[in-house]
């Protein structure tokens, strides 16, 4: 989980920035897919390490924004933090584990909702940097 959620994001970000700087791109955009649990501690102990990795993404995104502002670049960085999203992973977590049973998925986020959020962020005017976008299903009472 640490390798995928923190190191993988960090390495991909580093390489994307290297390519942008090498090619003279000064108006690129890096989007980190985070989670709402990257902004608060939930009460499900089995998810605390996952939440900790997502808190790292929150911190890394903020730090990268600060670093890029110091370099006077126009490269934008956004953390998109979805709530519960219908994915094959969430379905598998629910198999045999009552803590993760979702049941009816109708009220939860879909992959298209997250894709639409990415399009919204990259469609913002060049002088606008949406640093954090939190997306939650209507019934979510967390952060």
Residue positions annotated with a catalytic role: 50
84 sits in the region (left: phi over 0; alpha: psi -120 to 50; else beta) called beta
Per-residue b or e along 106-128, where b marks 16 or more CB atoms closer than 10 Å to that residue's CB: eebbeeeebeebeeebeeeeeee
Give alpha helix (H) positions in the chain. 2, 9-22, 48-70, 88-94, 111-122
């Amino acid at each position: 989980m640490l390798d995928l959620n923190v190191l993988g994001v960090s390495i991909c970000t580093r390489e994307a920035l290297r390519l942008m700087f090498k090619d003279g791109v000064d108006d690129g955009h890096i989007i980190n897919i985070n989670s709402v649990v990257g902004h608060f501690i939930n009460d499900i102990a089995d998810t605390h390490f996952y939440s900790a990795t997502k808190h790292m993404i929150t911190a890394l995104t903020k730090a990268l924004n600060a670093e890029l502002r110091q370099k006077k670049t126009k490269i934008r960085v956004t953390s998109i933090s979805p709530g519960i999203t219908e994915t094959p992973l969430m379905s598998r977590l629910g198999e045999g584990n009552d803590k993760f049973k979702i049941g009816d998925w109708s009220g939860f986020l879909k992959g298209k909702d997250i894709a639409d959020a990415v399009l919204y962020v990259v469609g913002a005017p060049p002088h606008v940097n949406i640093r954090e976008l939190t997306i939650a299903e209507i019934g979510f009472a967390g952060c």
